[in-house]
Amino acid sequence: MKTKKILLAAAVALLAASCNKTETETKSLEVSPTSLEFEATGGTVQNVTVQAQNVTWEYSVSAAAQAWMTVSQEGNVLTVSVADNNKGEQRTGQIRIQVTDGSKLPARGVTVTQQANANPPEMSISVNPSSLTFEGEGAAPQEVTVTSSSETLTWTAAPDETSGEWITVAAAGDKLTVSVADNPDTQRRSGSVVITPSDDAADSKAIRIIQEGRILPPSLTVSPSDPIEIPYNGIDGKLYVLLTVTAENTEWSAKATDAEGNALDWATATASTGEGYINLSFTRNTQKQPRSGILVVTPTAEGLNELRIPITQTAAPDHLTTLDGDLDLTTLGLDHGYSTLMPYAPDDTLQPTIQWELNLFSEGLSFNRNTGAIEGSGHRLHFMPVTERIEMNDDDMYILPDGEYEIVTPKPHPEDPDAIYYKDAWTIDKGTEGTTTWNKYVDFWYLEYRDNEVVGAAPVVSGTVTVTKMEGFENSYVFEFDLLDDIGNRLTGTYSGSIGLNVNGRQLPD
């Protein structure tokens, strides 16, 4: 009997130990109830009991419901309250309960439903003004009044996501003060302040914020600003200089004057204010003295001084021309010519080239064959093209070959007195000044006459003459001129017509 009692006691102890171990290892998580329903208004409170065995837990409220649902915990009881529903539609939220100790138990949820408001009150906010405009720099804060339709409806304000760096807000009562930082740019910028009501039954409002660009102080610069130095015949063949003008908040004008403020007669400043540049144009200096002036740029804004840039133009080198600019030969009215071919019989020597002497005249001017003088008033072009040896043709005529003739410096005579001297074909010697009155204008010259006297002259020192024989006319040609005188004036144009022909004093028929 004693042995049986001992065995029975051991069995009871083993059973008890087994039961305690099972109870300790069991884990569970339950909530009750799993759903709550609230009236639209009234402020009632309801509880949720969390039954947790051998686990720890926590709760969270769904994001959409956090604005109107409040949950607090005391022990294993969650107390749930809701704000009045001011909308005419039902709303639903979730409370989530989940373990926090790593137990593999599913989360539990409580669905909270609040009924729609059968007579929803008006919930709205208004702002006045709805937009604000600030100066670019040093702008004073401005105030906005925010009006709620209900005393229980509150609001918060903040700049939008892109404007937080330069817009700040401060709220007090129904007033919202908006401030802006200085605008670092000259362009205006814009943003907004968003007013968010405490009840989502009311719509948010946005206040438009505009800030003007930074206003730069008046300024005026000209580039280049160094003194302007002009060669007598222009810069790279151009008779103008472009200067860039940068103006901020000022109008401006430009002029070229002498030291006393009088307009120059050789330079003009044209202001293109809309495009920001000055065209300083000038003429060639045909005088043997330099000349000077001042480019004056005048702003209209107060506090800015005018800019004065010295202008100088170098003196012309020693020259013979009397022209003070380019000459269009076509406008001179050249309408007839006279030419001489030397020698009459080019095959009686060993010279490989021969030379023509041509004179082109305008009406009123002619060559006196008896005296060799130029008589009358008008214009004359004198030049002497060199060609290869040519023979008289079957019509008893010599033909000036077609082609381009280049104006060149005359070849020096050979030192050997027995050497044959000849000029190169397809050339025309440049104009030079002779040593005697009757032979003053040697080789290529443009000359103007008045009553038998030369009143204007220009030696041609470079360029080309292109010759084309006119079909059907024995002594008629087309001459195209592209010439420069000794200070760079261009003489261009065309002559079409007869040049006559005189060979060693024998006049051949036109």
Chain CA centroid to CA 329, Å: 42
- CATH code 2.60.40.10 region(s) in the chain: 125-211, 219-313
For position 21, what pLDDT does the model report?
Answer: 46
As a CATH number, domain 125-211 is 2.60.40.10
The residues, any chain, with a CB within 8 Å of residue 211's CB and separated by 6 or more, are 133, 134, 135, 136, 139, 166, 180, 183, 188, 189, 190
| Residue 11: pLDDT over 60 | no
pLDDT in tens, 54-84: 999 999 999 989 988 999 999 999 999 998 8
Residue 216 has which token pair?
A: 């730069």
Architecture of domain 219-313: Sandwich (2.60)
Domain 26-114 maps to which CATH number in 3.40.50.360, 3.40.920.10, 2.60.40.60, 2.30.30.40?
A: 2.60.40.60
For position 202, what pLDDT does the model report?
Answer: 87
For position 343, what pLDDT does the model report?
Answer: 56
| Residue 33: pLDDT over 50 | yes
| Residue 307: pLDDT over 80 | yes
129/346: higher pLDDT: 129
- CATH code 2.60.40.60 region(s) in the chain: 26-114
Strand pairing report for 69-74 and 35-38 = unpaired
147/24: higher pLDDT: 147
- Tokens 């001297």 locate to 421
For position 504, what pLDDT does the model report?
Answer: 62
Of the candidate ranges 254-258, 306-310, 501-505, the one whose mean pLDDT is the lowest: 501-505
For residue 280, give the H/E element and its range: strand 277-282
| Residue 16: pLDDT over 50 | no
- The C-alpha angle with vertex 240 and arms to 234 and 246, in degrees rounded to 5, equals 140
DSSP sequence for 117-186: PSSPPP--EEEESSEEEE-SSSPPPEEEEEEESSTT--EEEEE-TTTTTTEEEEEETTEEEEEEPPP-SS
For the chain, give the mean pLDDT.
Answer: 89
Percent of the chain with pLDDT over 70: 91
